[in-house]
Amino acid sequence: MSKGRYNYYDPEYDPNVTEGYELLLMVNDQTFSFVVLQTDSKRVLVWGEEYDNEELRAPSDLKGILTAKYIDVKAIVTSATFTIIPKELYKESDLSEYGRFLTLKPGDTLLVNEIDEGSIVVFKVDEGTLKSLKNRVAQKSVFFTGKVFVAAISFGRHDNTNLYAHIEGNRLQLLHFRNGMLNFYNSFEFQNPDELMYFIVLTANELELNLDETSLMLSGEVNISDKKIHRVSDLLPKVYLNQTKIVLLPQGFLPHQILLLSGLTLCASLVEN
């Protein structure tokens, strides 16, 4: 049974009147989250989480929202299989060669995004995810989760002493900038607080960051009182929730909770294969 829920539903929202609205989706292996946004004001009208992907393929509870006409529909896919290539070295004709470095299964599709001004990411989207998005989101509007994370953090202030961490379920993304440029991005799967701490500390050490001086900026499914965050703060004393504000949230909600979906509003162009 779906655990899908509305975090917020503006009483003024009417799925029959959606002129000037856009639909933003974040699709995981089994579930998806979404936001309906008033484009000009960047105001969140509807925000839902943890709906089964079957609801995307055959809408029922969300039929009115998912089948409405929007000025734009975009989606984030949380692919764990990707490779980042310097832009000057990327060749569209070599896409199949890049795919040889990834673990692909029958039915998988390779998509391409510009992750920032200097890098291209080639990433895998599995057949099930594409079926969920079919007839709902054009491939040119499907974005790699790391691209959206980079765009969201770039929207705010970042410096060399910040390490950015985004957590969704058991998936951790880590991001670091150096002198205003993307220096590191990777994602990891963790099963417990010790593994979460391991990946964060390992990355900080590989980047030669001073643990006492580094600020760990958190976003996603996380709060400061989480046991897993207490474990991390044993070694990194400066742990904060990311306060980058991209969209206008209802009262009572915090920007870090919706960072990726709001960051999707910043993604307008990509390389199509």
Chain position carrying tokens 């985004």: 166
- Which segments of the chain belong to CATH 3.30.420.260? 157-243
Q: What's the predicted TM-score (pTM) here?
A: 0.94
Tell me if residue 262 falls in helix, strand or coil: helix
Is-contact 163 217, C-beta < 8 A? yes
From the list 177, 211, 206, 174, the residue with the least C-alpha distance to 189 is 174
Per-residue model confidence (pLDDT) at position 2: 63
Dig out the tokens for 20 from the structure.
């000037």
The DSSP H or E segment spanning 159 is: none
Domain 157-243 has CATH 3.30.420.260: yes
Q: Using CB atoms within 10 A of its CB, is residue 48 exposed (0-12), middle (13-18) or buried (19+)?
A: buried
Separation of CA 224 from chain center: 20
The DSSP H or E segment spanning 217 is: strand 215-220
Per-residue model confidence (pLDDT) at position 231: 85
Looking at the domain that runs over 1-156+245-273, which CATH code has it been given?
3.30.420.250
Per-residue model confidence (pLDDT) at position 273: 40
pLDDT averages per 10-residue partition of the chain, 273 residues: 84 93 94 96 96 94 95 93 94 90 88 93 93 90 96 88 94 95 95 94 96 95 83 89 94 93 84 42
Chain position carrying tokens 């579930």: 31
Task: List CB contacts of 128: < 8 A, sequence separation 6 or more.
Answer: 29, 53
From the list 184, 168, 113, the residue with the least C-alpha distance to 144 is 113
Per-residue model confidence (pLDDT) at position 269: 46
Report the helix count and the strand count for the chain, using DSSP H and E. 8, 14
Separation between Cα atoms, residue 201 and residue 113, nearest integer Å? 29
- Which segments of the chain belong to CATH 3.30.420.250? 1-156+245-273
Strand 31-38 to strand 171-178: parallel, antiparallel, or no bridges (unpaired)?
unpaired
Q: From residue 222, give the alpha-carbon distance in Å to each of 145, 148, 164, 167, 227.
A: 17, 18, 13, 7, 10
From the list 70, 181, 161, the residue with the least C-alpha distance to 115 is 181
Chain position carrying tokens 């951790």: 172
